[in-house]
Each structure stands twice: as structure tokens, then as C-alpha cells.
Chain A
Amino acid sequence: MYLIIQPMHERLSFYVKRDSPLHHLNPLTKLTLVLGLVLISFLSPWYWTPHILLVIAIFPLSLVGRVGREFLRTFLRLILPAASFLFFMQAFFQPIGDQVIFKLWFLDITQESLLFAFRNAMRIIVMVSSFTLFLLTTHPSELMSDLTRRGLPPQFAYVIISTLQILPQMQAKAQTIIAAQRSRGLDTQSSFLRRAGSLFPLIGPLVFGSLVEVEERAIAIEARGFTSTRVKTSLYEIPDTNLDTALRWTFIALVIITIVLKLWLS
């Protein structure tokens, strides 16, 4: 019964450095691929599309990107539990359909609710696992410098990259504070009122401690030309080949075809 926040250093630095075709693609191409997969799985008029996409696109791509083992581990530890929880919630509580398959107390699972829950869970799985694949094969700063080169305001890039760095630090700090306050006798496990009362001693130091750093950091990055509006040169060149352009247009075309089919068939 210890109160421990799981450190997520491993989770936040998803990126695995390998030499694979997927790693060599331009970050924007991979982002288009991911968004395309998500849109197609959500908009397709056919029931089995998300299921098929997972089998014929996402799993093979994880092998192409040579991150199969890491992908499978994330899939089993993070994605599958979240999706199964959603699946059971919906299968039990969705009040649609008449063909009762299974009855438990006042809850009944109907064929329709089962199918509905299964498709929804699959869509979530497709969405999250394609993002996972993207994060496994793309370094965040690579993505951000490419997007900045294409016109994304550099402040956005700063916010994303900075959050990914601060978050693990903040979680480590939270863990330290929880341990420190517990060693001083803070009650974090008994009655509701006591647990609610222990909220402020925990979040107070965490919030004030991290806000103190804000001013120093602002001065530091201002001194390094953060607010300068001139074009900044980048140390790294991110390749963008003709193949990338062709792939991007293919994905966009596929999404448009899906939308047209959806409108046409419904």
C-alpha cells in the first residue's frame, strides 16, 4: 500500500534509435501516415476497417521500422489495458439492441452493444498504436525542427519539447514530496476527509517549487534570442525526398477516398 507514482522516464523517451526505412522518412510524412490511419479508421463506412488496418498496416510497419519488440511491449502494457477497460464499460452499459447474449444482475450484454464496443475499442487501439509507432521512430526534436522549418511558430516547438522534458522531472519531484510528507506523518490513505486534506501539502510545494524556475528560464531563453523574429539556422538538415512527397499525397488521397465513400454509401 505504498503511494508511488510510476516514474515514466522510459515512457516519455519513446524514441528508439535504429536504422530503418521508417526512421529515414521525413517526420511530416510519418505524421501524415498516422493522421491518415486515424481518420480512415474513424470515418470508414465498413465495420471491419480498424481491425484490418491494425493487422495489415500497423503491425507490419512496426516490423519495417525494426521496433517490433518495443511496439509489442507498449501495446500489451499500455494500449491493450486502456482499450479493454473501455470495451467492458461499453459492452455492459451501452443500452442498445434487443438480442441479449448475457445477463448479469441488471446489466445485459446485447449483440449490438458488443459489436459497438468492439469497434470503438479497435478505433482507439488504431489511434494510439499508430501514434506509438510514430513516437518510436521519430525523435521529438527532429519533428519539431522540421515543422518549424515549414512555418510552425518556434514557440510551439519550444512548448512541446519543453513539456516532454519537464514532465518526468515534475513526476520525480512529486514522488519526492509524497515520500517527504509521508515521513512527516501525512495521512494519504485513511478517511476521505483526511485524504482530501492532504492534497494541499502535496501540491503546494510541487507547484510553487516549479513556478520559481519559470522566471529564471524566461530570462535564460530571452538572452538566447527566443523572441528574435529573424530566420534561425538549424544545425541538422532533415531530408525530404520525392518519395516523401509522393507518400504524403497518397495518404491524403486515401483519406479523401474514404470520406467520399462514407458520404456516398450512407
Chain B
Amino acid sequence: MRETAAMQSQKSKSWLNIGKDFNTMTWVLIPVAIAINIAIGQIVVLLKLPVFLDSIGTVLVAAVCGPWAGALTGALTNIIWGVTVDPNALPWWPVAFFIGLVAGLCANAGLFKSWWKVVVTGFLVALTAATISTPIAVYLFGGITASGSSFITAYLLQTGQGVLQAVFSTSFLVEPVDKITTAMLAFAIVQGLSRRFVARFPRPENVEPEGGTNQTQLYIAVGVVVLLVLFAAFMLRNVLGG
């Protein structure tokens, strides 16, 4: 009786415990993941690679702690990055929020267990990022942002395309490479951690690698990837042609 009362009070007080996703390990991992996001983002800039890779920590948290923890990590990354390092990162926090959310949902659906599933996760995350960032780029910046990929947007605008289409096609060209790499790196990191360590997070079952390569699975995988590529080509042609 006493126990149930205590449990009830805990439930009503800590409204953040969405499905027990926020245990102490989660709260401790989030700041580390934010710092990983920012530090790797800066290393990538120094190596002059044409990707951002600034959401590896976010995807990591999303995979082992669930979508809401990932979303929180993403949003806080951009807010802290914006006020302390680079002001241009600040308006993009909703994009980072949805990257974490979608990566977490994919992981919950079992799409973080083998490399080809992770590619699918990366692709879905990229699609989300492109969709969410387009209205921000268009309505806040008029299409041209401080990012290097705006050169492509500018070129597309010069060819006479609408702002919305130009921005979306640019994101659609840039994001998949970036987000699939991000998801693959996060997957490699998780697989490099010890099982005992991962088991302390709320959702260790999300990242449990599948034993053995199943023949049918492989066929499905190839099919999915081909479909995604066809879908991408179709979208791109539609957007570019329209």
C-alpha cells in the first residue's frame, strides 16, 4: 500500500520519465553526447570534409535511450552551440530535435541492429532533416543561409526555380550523405562499447546486433535500398523538373 502511494507520487512528480527512458545514465550521457556533437563537428571542419557530422552524439543517445532523450540532446546541442560557439547554429534547433526523435523512433522499430538497417535509419533521418530545415531556411533566411551548401541553392535560384524547391533540392542532395555517415558512425561506436555498459541504458535491446546474416533479410534489405534510391531519384527529378 505504502509502496503504491510512493510510486504514484513519483509518477505524478517526474513527468519527464517517459516510459522510463530518462534514468540517471541517460541524464549523464546527454551532456557528454552534446559535447561529442560539438567536438566532432569542429574536427570535421578542421579536416575540411564536405559533411557536418554534428549529430553523432544525438543519434547515439536516441539509439540507447529512446526518441525523447535524443530529441532533447539535439535541441540542447544547437542551443548551447548557438550561444557559446557559433551563433548561426541557434535557429536550427528544431531540425536537431527531429533528428533525435526520428533516429529514436527508428531504433525503437528495430532499425539500429545491422548495418543496412542503419543505412535506412540514416536515410529517414536525412529526409526529416531536409523537410524540417526547408521552412526555417526559407522563412528566416529567405533561402540563403550561412552554410556552404547555399552555393547550390543560389545556383538553382539563378536557373529560375522557386525558393522552396531550390532549398529542398539542396538539402535533399546534401543531407543523405551526411546523415547516413552519421548513423553508421554512431552504430560503429555502439558496437564498440561493451555489452555490460550498454545494458545500463534504458533501451539496450535497440542496439543488440542480430546474430548471423539471414538470406531473406538480405534480399529485403537490397530491395529496400533499391526502392529508396528509386524514390530519391523520382523525388529529385520531380523537384528539379517542376
Contact = CB atoms under 8 A, between A and B. Distances in A.
A173 B40 CA distance: 11
A126 to B, nearest CB: 11
Interface in A211-254: 211, 213-215, 217-218, 221-222, 226-227, 229
Contact of A206 (B34, B36, B47, B87): B36
Interface stretch (A18-26, A52-60, A63-71, A191-199): A191-199
Interface in B15-43: 16, 22, 24-25, 27-32, 34-36, 38-40, 42-43
Given A89-B146, A170-B36, A208 B154 contact: no
Nearest to B22: A155
Contacts of A227: 24
Interface residues on A, range: 35 or more
A213 B189 contact: no
Contact of B47 (A78, A159, A195): A195
Contacts of A44: none
A266 interface: no
Given A127-B87, A171-B42, A215-B25, A85 B146 contact: yes
Classify the interface of chain B: helix, strand, loop or mixed.
Answer: helix
Nearest to A132: B83
B40 A90 contact: no
A167 B144 contact: no
Contact of A203 (B10, B80, B185): B185
Contacts of B143: 94
Interface residues of B, number: 60
A92 B41 CA distance: 27
Contacts of B53: 199
Contacts of B197: 211, 215
B42 A127 contact: no
Interface of A: 3, 5, 8, 11-12, 14, 78-79, 82-83, 85-86, 89-90, 92-96, 106, 116, 120, 124, 127-128, 131-132, 135, 153, 155, 158-160, 162-164, 166-167, 169-171, 173-174, 178, 188, 192, 195-196, 198-200, 202-204, 206-208, 210-211, 213-215, 217-218, 221-222, 226-227, 229
Given A155-B16, A163-B31, A203-B185, 10 more contacts: A89-B146, A89-B150, A95-B154, A159-B30, A159-B72, A167-B35, A167-B39, A208-B189, A213-B32, A226-B24
9 smallest beta-carbon distances between A and B, as pairs: A93-B154, A162-B31, A128-B87, A170-B35, A163-B31, A218-B28, A166-B35, A93-B144, A95-B157
5 contacts: A82-B146, A167-B84, A188-B46, A211-B197, A227-B24
